[in-house]
Chain A
């Protein structure tokens, strides 16, 4: 079991460029999440998905897009990168539960993104 994998590990973008952060999990989890982590700010939820074909916005969705065509993959798309998107991005997954999120989340190793 590889768990949750993310690529790339590091990336530098120029302002206005676009990129896709990849996330794959091999645990057959229904729920998947994208977070960003800024120093001293904890984790902020960008988007989440409760199953293939279903996505929803989190706290900070502006400037990002997601898709969930399969159970395993949950890519995050950055369009028109801005310096404010400089952050560490984490993907996570968890088993779905009927009503609520009481199953623990498994995290990937993160992608460190710098926008210059």
Chain B
């Protein structure tokens, strides 16, 4: 069965410091991996995805993520956090011909000034 885990409910980081939001997955076959962000009282917005190719994927707002096949991980990173990055972050995965995404439970990121 496909699954995705976000092991941290909350991540706190100081403004200007690097941030990492973790995601691990389990699928049969090659994964398609996604990160989305949700600001308060808003719908989810797409940040970036890995389908194939380069393991380091760059996305919106300066975020990037690294696909690690051996560790089945797809951690979201940003070199220098902003207070405005404070939001809820969701990792999602699918594989093969599956038409549905499997969603993580989300990680709340708080960037402190």
Contacts and interface: CB of A to CB of B under 8 A. Distances in A.
Contacts of A106: 46
Nearest to B52: A102
Interface in B28-50: 32, 34, 36, 41-46, 49
In the A-B complex, the 9 residue pairs with the smallest Cβ-Cβ separation, listed nearest first, are: A107-B43, A104-B46, A42-B105, A102-B32, A43-B103, A107-B44, A99-B97, A42-B103, A102-B51
Interface stretch (B15-23, B70-78, B88-96): B88-96
Interface in A68-116: 90, 92, 99-102, 104-110
Contacts of B96: 99-100
Given A90-B43, A90-B44, A107-B43, A100 B103 contact: no
Nearest to A104: B46
23 contacts: A4-B43, A40-B9, A40-B105, A42-B104, A42-B105, A43-B90, A43-B103, A50-B99, A58-B100, A99-B97, A100-B96, A100-B98, A101-B32, A101-B99, A101-B100, A104-B34, A104-B46, A105-B44, A105-B101, A107-B36, A107-B45, A110-B42, A110-B43
Interface string A16-47: 00000000000000010000000011110100
Interface residues of B, number: 25
Interface residues of A, number: 23
Interface of A: 4, 31, 40-43, 45, 48, 50, 58, 90, 92, 99-102, 104-110
Contacts of B94: 100-102
Contacts of B36: 105, 107
A102 B95 CA distance: 8
